[in-house]
C-alpha cells in the first residue's frame, strides 16, 4: 500500500509538470496580446518598454521556467513569511497579474472564501441529500419513490446549471422577492440579522449546485446499493435473523459506500470547475468568475496560475480517491 | 427450457440482433418517450423553417418585445425578431454542434481506445496520455481555447464557420477520454475471446482484425457513450454561449438566445425560459435514450 501510494505520488509530479507546460504553451500559442488594450497613440518604443516590463521580451521557455520557480518556490516562501513573519522571500519577484499589478496569489486568497463557502456548502448539502435518497430508492426499487427520484435526478443533471439558476432568479428573486439575485461579497456577518441576510443570499446558488451534485451522487449510491443488495451475504445476514435496519444500514450500506466515497472525492475538483458558471449567474466573485475576467483581459499569469491550481486539485483528489479505494476496500491489493 | 425451445423452433429465419435490441429498448418507457421527444424536436428544427418561413434575422423595430400573438406565436425579442424562427434556427446550430462534436470525440476515443487495447506497444503511451487529459481542468481550458483562437479562425473561415469549427474541435478534443477508456476495456476483454484467436490462427492481418472482428463487437459501448456525448456536447456549447464565449451575437443558438435574454429577464422571462426549456428537453430526452440503449445493448439484461 505504501509503495503504491509513493508510486502514485511520484507519477503525479511529472503529470502536473506536463499539464503546466500544456497550459503554458496553449497560452503562448494564442495570438492575444496583453497590450491590446493600450491606446494606439502610445509610440512603439514605449510599447516595447512596456512589454519588457511585463517580462514578455524573453523566450517562452525562460518565462516558463521563471513561472515554475515563482509558483513552486517564491510563492510558498511568501506564504511562510506571511505565517511566521519572516523575510525569506524579500526581493524575489512574485507572480504578478497583468491586469491589476497585484500578486496573483493575493487576489486568489481574497476570492477563495467566497468559492469555498458557496461551493463547499452546496457540495455538503448535495451529498447529504443524495445518500439517503440513493439508499431508499435502491431499497424500494421500482417503487413510486424510486421512479420519482430517478426522474428528478435525470432532470437534475440534464438541466444545465445556468438555466436552473436563471429560473430560480425569476421565481424567487423577481416574482416572490424572497432572495436577492446578486451575491454581495462585501457583506459581513456580525449578528443574527446579518447572518440571515448571508443565508438568504447564499440560498439560490447553493440550491442550484446542490441539486446538480445530488442528482449525480444519488444515482451512484442507488446503483451501488443495488449491486450489493442481491449479494449472498445479505441473504445470510437476513437468515441470521438480523433486523432489516441492521442489514441495510450496516451491512449493505458500508459495502456500497466504498465506490461512492471515491466518486465523492473525484467530484470535489469538478465542482470548482462547474461553479464557474454558477458564480457567473449569481455574480459571486469567486475563483471561477476571476478566471473568466482574466481570460477576457488576456491576463496570462492569472489564467495560468488559476488553471494550474484547478489542475493540482484534480490530480490531488484523483490520488486521494485511489488511496481511499485501497484503504476502504480490503479486496483491492496494490502489489 | 421447453419455452425457449418452442420459441426457437417457431422462429424460422435467424433474427437480426438489432431487432432484439429494439424489443428490449421498447420496454424502457422513459427511453421511448425520450426518443419521441427528440424526434419531435428534430422535426421542429428541420421541417419547422419550411412551414414558419419568417427570417430569424429579420429586424422589425416596430414590433419589439412583443408577447405571444398570432403574428409571432412565441413573441419577439428586443429587436423585433421572431422568437419562433430564432428558436428553430438556434436549435439547428445547437444540435448540429452536439452531433458533430460527438462524432469527433467518439472517433478520437474509439481510435485511441482500439489502438491502446489492441497493440501492446502503444498501450502505455496512449493510456498515460488519456490519464493526462483526464487530469486537465477541462472547462477552464475550453474557455481559454475558445477565447484565444476565436479571432484567427473567424478571420480565415468567416465568423460562422470559423467559430463552428473552433467550438466543435474544442469540445471534441476535451471529451474523448471516457470513451477511449471504455473501448480499451472492451477490446482487452475481446482480445482473449476464442473467435479472435481463431481469426488470428488463419492469418488475419491486424487491420482486418480490427475492422472485421473487434469494432463490430465494441459497437454497443460506443453507441451508449455517443448518445450521452451528444447531451454533454449540447450542454457545453450552450454553457460557452452563456458565458458569452460562443457564437457571434447575430447567430442564434439556444445558449446564445438564453444569454441575450438574461439582461431583460425581469421584464420578459419567457424569452429566457423558452431556449432553456429547449436545451433541457433535448438533453433530457437524449439522456433517457442513452439510458434505454445501455439496458437494451447489455446482453445480460436483454432477453430476461
Question: Hey, are the CB atoms on A163 and B276 less than 8 Å from each other?
Answer: yes
Q: Give ipTM to 2 decimals.
A: 0.82
Q: Domain for residue B31, yes or no?
A: no
Residue B2 located in a structural domain: no
Query: Binning pLDDT at 50, 70 and 90, where does residue B283 land?
Result: very high
DSSP state of B63: G
**Count of structural domains within chain B:** 1
Q: Give the model confidence (pLDDT) of B187-213 as tens digits.
A: 888 888 898 899 989 998 988 988 888
Does any domain span residue B54? no
Three-class SS state of B82: strand
Q: Is B141 in Cβ contact with A307 (below 8 Å)?
A: yes
> Does B65 or B214 have the greater pLDDT score?
B214
Distance of residue B211 Cα from the nearest chain A Cα, in angstroms? 33
Residues with Cβ within 8 Å of B250's Cβ and at least 6 positions away in sequence, in order, are B57
B270 touches chain A (CB under 8 A): no
Q: With pLDDT > 70 as the criterion, what percentage of chain A qualifies?
A: 94
**Residue B180 belongs to some domain of the structure:** yes
Distance from CA of A167 to the nearest CA of B (A): 7
Minimal Cα–Cα distance from A240 to chain B, Å?
31
Distance of CA B18 to the CA centre of its chain: 21
Residue B1 has pLDDT above 60, yes or no: no
Cell 428534430 locates to B42
Residue A292 touches partner B, C-beta closer than 8 Å: yes
**Residue of chain A nearest B134, judged by CA positions:** A314
Residue B55 lies in a domain: no
Residue A134 in this model has a pLDDT that exceeds 70: yes
Look up residue A88 and give its three cell numbers.
Answer: 525569506
Interface residue B258 vs chain A (CB under 8 A): yes
- How many angstroms from the chain centroid is the CA of residue A280? 15
| Relative orientation angle of helices B219-242 and A253-282, to the nearest 10 degrees | 30
| pLDDT for res B10 | 53
Q: What angle do CA A37, A41, A45 make, to 5 degrees?
A: 90
Give the distance from residue B37's alpha carbon to the nearest chain A alpha carbon, in angstroms. Answer: 14
Point out the residue among B30, B144, B265 whose CB comes nearest to the CB of A169: B265
CA distance B139 to A270: 9
Quick: pLDDT tens for A250-305: 889 888 888 898 888 888 887 666 578 888 888 888 888 888 888 888 788 888 88
Q: Flag whether pLDDT at B303 surpasses 60.
A: no
pLDDT at B3: 54
Give the SS3 label for residue A103: strand
CA closest to A163 among chain B residues? B276
In which band, very low, low, confident or very high, does the pLDDT at A328 lie, cut at 50, 70 and 90?
confident
Q: In the beta sheet, which residues pair with residue B76?
A: B82
The residue of chain B nearest to residue A155, with distances taken between CA atoms, is B284
DSSP assignment of B185-205: HHHHHHHTSHHHHHHHHTT--
Q: What is the pLDDT of residue B202?
A: 92
User: Considering only alpha carbons, which residue of chain A is nearest residue B280?
Assistant: A159
Residue B82 pairs with which residues in a beta bridge? B76
> What pLDDT is stored for residue B96 in this prediction?
92
Pick among B34, B138, B140, B143 to test the A interface (most A CBs inside 10 A): B140
Would the pLDDT of B106 be above 90?
Answer: yes
Q: Residue A103 forms beta bridges with which residues? A: A96
Q: Domain residues of chain A, as ranges?
A: 110-328
Choose the closest CB to A277 out of B134, B242, B276.
B242
Looking at residue B99, its pLDDT comes to 93
Contacts (Cβ under 8 Å, ≥6 apart) of A78: A89, A92, A94, A103, A105
pLDDT digits (tens, 9 = 90+) for A111-129: 888 888 888 888 899 999 9
Question: Cell match 424510486: residue?
Answer: A146
Q: Region B126-149: what's the mean pLDDT?
A: 84
In contact, A306 and A272? CB cutoff 8 Å: no
Spell out which residues of chain B touch residue A19, defining contact as CB-CB under 8 Å: 132, 135-136
Binned at pLDDT 50, 70 and 90, residue A36 comes out as low
Query: Is A124 an 8 Å CB contact of chain B?
Result: no
pLDDT > 70: what percent of chain B?
92
Name the fold adopted by A110-328.
Answer: MetI-like fold (1.10.3720)
Range of the domain at B236: 37-49+83-297
pLDDT of residue B300: 65
CA-wise closest residue to A162 among A280, A271, A268 = A280
In a domain, B56, yes or no: no
Specify the CATH number for the domain of residue B184: 1.10.3720.10
More confident residue, A41 or B223: B223
The dihedral over CA atoms of A82, A87, A92, A97, expressed in degrees to the nearest 10, equals 20
- pLDDT of amino acid B301: 60
Identify the band that residue B281 occupies on the pLDDT scale cut at 50, 70 and 90.
Answer: very high
**pLDDT per residue as tens digits for the range A300-323:** 888 888 888 888 888 888 888 888
The whole-chain average pLDDT of chain B stands at 83
Q: Is B144 on the interface with A (CB under 8 A)?
A: yes
Using DSSP, state whether B184 is helix, strand or coil.
helix
Q: Residues of A numbered 177-196 whose beta carbons fall under 8 angstroms of chain B's beta carbons: which are they? A: none
Rounded average pLDDT over B172-191:
89
Q: Is B59 within a domain?
A: no
pTM: 0.85
Q: Is the pLDDT of residue B287 over 80?
A: yes
Q: How far apart are CA B167 and CA A325, in angstroms?
A: 36
What is the C-alpha to C-alpha distance for residues B79 and B70, in angstroms, rounded to an integer?
18
CB A160 within 8 A of CB B283: yes
Tell me the pLDDT band of B5, cut-offs 50, 70 and 90: low
Question: How many other CB atoms are there within 10 angstroms of residue A333's CB atom?
Answer: 9
| Residue to test with chain B: of A158, A283, A292, A306, most B Cβ within 10 A | A158
Question: Quick one: pLDDT at residue B304?
Answer: 47
- pLDDT tier, B76 (very low <50, low <70, confident <90, very high otherwise): confident
Give the chain A residue whose CA is nearest to the CA of B151.
A31
Asked if A166's CB is within 8 angstroms of B284's CB, the reply is no
SS3 of A105-155: HHHHHHHHHHHHHHHHHHHHHHHHHHHHHHHHHHHCCCCHHHHHHHHHHHH
Amino acid at each position: 500500500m505504501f509503495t503504491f501510494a509513493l508510486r502514485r505520488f511520484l507519477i503525479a509530479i511529472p503529470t502536473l509538470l506536463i499539464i503546466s507546460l500544456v497550459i503554458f504553451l496553449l497560452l503562448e500559442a494564442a495570438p492575444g496580446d496583453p497590450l491590446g488594450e493600450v491606446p494606439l497613440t502610445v509610440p512603439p518604443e514605449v510599447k516595447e518598454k512596456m512589454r519588457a516590463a511585463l517580462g514578455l521580451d524573453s523566450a517562452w521557455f525562460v518565462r516558463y521556467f521563471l513561472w515554475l520557480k515563482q509558483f513552486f518556490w517564491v510563492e510558498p516562501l511568501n506564504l511562510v513569511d506571511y505565517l511566521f513573519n519572516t523575510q525569506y522571500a524579500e526581493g524575489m519577484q512574485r507572480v504578478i497579474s497583468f491586469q491589476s499589478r497585484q500578486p496573483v496569489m493575493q487576489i486568489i486568497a481574497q476570492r477563495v472564501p467566497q468559492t469555498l463557502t458557496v461551493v463547499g456548502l452546496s457540495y455538503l448539502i448535495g451529498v447529504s441529500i443524495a445518500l439517503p435518497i440513493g439508499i431508499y430508492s435502491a431499497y424500494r426499487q421500482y417503487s413510486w419513490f424510486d421512479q420519482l427520484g430517478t426522474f428528478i435526478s435525470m432532470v437534475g443533471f440534464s438541466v444545465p446549471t445556468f438555466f436552473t439558476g436563471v429560473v430560480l432568479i425569476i421565481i424567487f428573486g423577481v416574482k416572490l422577492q424572497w432572495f436577492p439575485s446578486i451575491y454581495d461579497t462585501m457583506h459581513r456577518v456580525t449578528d443574527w440579522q446579518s447572518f440571515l441576510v448571508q443565508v438568504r443570499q447564499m440560498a439560490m446558488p447553493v440550491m442550484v449546485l446542490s441539486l446538480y451534485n445530488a442528482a449525480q451522487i444519488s444515482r451512484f449510491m442507488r446503483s451501488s446499493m443495488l449491486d450489493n443488495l442481491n449479494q449472498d451475504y445479505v441473504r445470510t445476514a437476513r437468515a441470521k435473523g438480523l433486523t432489516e435496519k441492521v442489514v441495510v444500514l450496516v451491512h449493505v450500506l458500508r459495502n456500497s459506500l466504498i465506490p461512492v466515497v471515491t466518486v465523492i472525492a473525484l467530484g470535489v475538483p469538478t465542482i470548482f470547475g462547474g461553479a464557474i458558471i454558477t458564480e457567473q449567474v449569481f455574480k459571486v466573485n469567486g475563483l471561477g468568475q476571476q478566471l473568466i475576467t482574466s481570460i477576457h483581459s488576456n491576463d496570462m499569469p492569472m489564467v495560468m496560475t488559476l488553471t494550474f491550481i484547478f489542475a493540482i486539485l484534480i490530480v490531488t483528489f484523483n490520488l486521494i480517491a485511489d488511496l481511499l479505494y485501497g484503504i476502504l476496500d480490503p479486496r483491492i491489493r496494490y502489489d | 427450457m421447453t419455452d425457449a425451445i418452442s420459441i426457437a423452433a417457431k422462429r424460422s429465419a435467424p433474427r437480426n440482433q438489432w431487432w432484439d435490441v429494439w424489443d428490449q429498448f421498447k420496454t424502457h418507457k422513459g427511453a421511448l418517450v425520450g426518443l419521441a421527444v427528440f424526434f419531435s424536436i428534430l422535426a421542429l428544427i428541420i421541417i419547422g423553417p419550411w412551414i414558419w418561413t419568417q427570417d430569424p434575422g429579420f429586424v422589425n423595430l416596430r414590433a419589439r418585445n412583443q408577447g405571444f400573438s398570432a403574428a409571432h406565436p412565441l413573441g419577439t425579442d428586443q429587436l423585433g425578431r421572431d422568437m419562433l424562427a430564432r428558436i428553430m434556427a438556434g436549435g439547428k446550430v445547437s444540435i448540429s454542434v452536439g452531433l458533430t462534436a460527438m462524432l469527433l470525440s467518439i472517433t478520437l476515443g474509439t481510435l485511441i481506445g482500439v489502438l491502446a487495447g489492441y497493440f501492446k506497444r502503444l498501450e502505455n503511451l496512449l493510456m498515460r496520455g488519456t490519464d493526462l487529459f483526464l487530469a486537465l481542468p477541462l472547462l477552464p481550458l475550453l474557455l481559454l481555447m475558445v477565447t484565444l483562437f476565436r479571432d484567427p479562425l473567424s478571420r480565415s473561415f468567416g465568423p460562422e464557420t470559423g467559430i463552428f469549427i473552433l467550438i466543435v474541435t474544442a469540445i471534441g478534443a476535451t471529451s474523448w477520454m471516457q470513451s477511449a477508456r471504455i473501448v480499451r476495456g472492451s477490446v482487452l476483454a475481446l482480445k482473449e475471446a476464442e473467435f479472435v484467436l481463431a481469426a488470428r490462427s488463419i492469418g488475419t492481418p491486424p487491420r482486418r482484425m480490427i475492422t472485421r472482428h473487434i469494432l463490430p463487437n465494441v459497437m454497443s459501448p460506443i453507441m451508449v457513450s455517443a448518445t450521452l456525448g451528444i447531451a454533454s456536447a449540447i450542454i457545453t456549447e450552450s454553457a460557452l454561449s452563456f458565458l458569452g464565449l460562443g457564437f457571434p451575437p447575430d447567430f442564434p443558438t439556444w445558449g446564445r438566445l438564453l444569454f441575450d435574454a438574461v439582461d431583460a429577464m425581469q421584464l420578459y422571462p419567457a424569452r429566457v425560459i423558452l431556449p432553456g426549456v429547449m436545451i433541457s428537453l433535448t438533453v433530457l430526452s437524449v439522456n433517457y435514450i442513452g439510458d434505454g440503449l445501455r439496458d437494451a445493448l447489455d446482453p445480460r439484461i436483454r432477453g430476461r
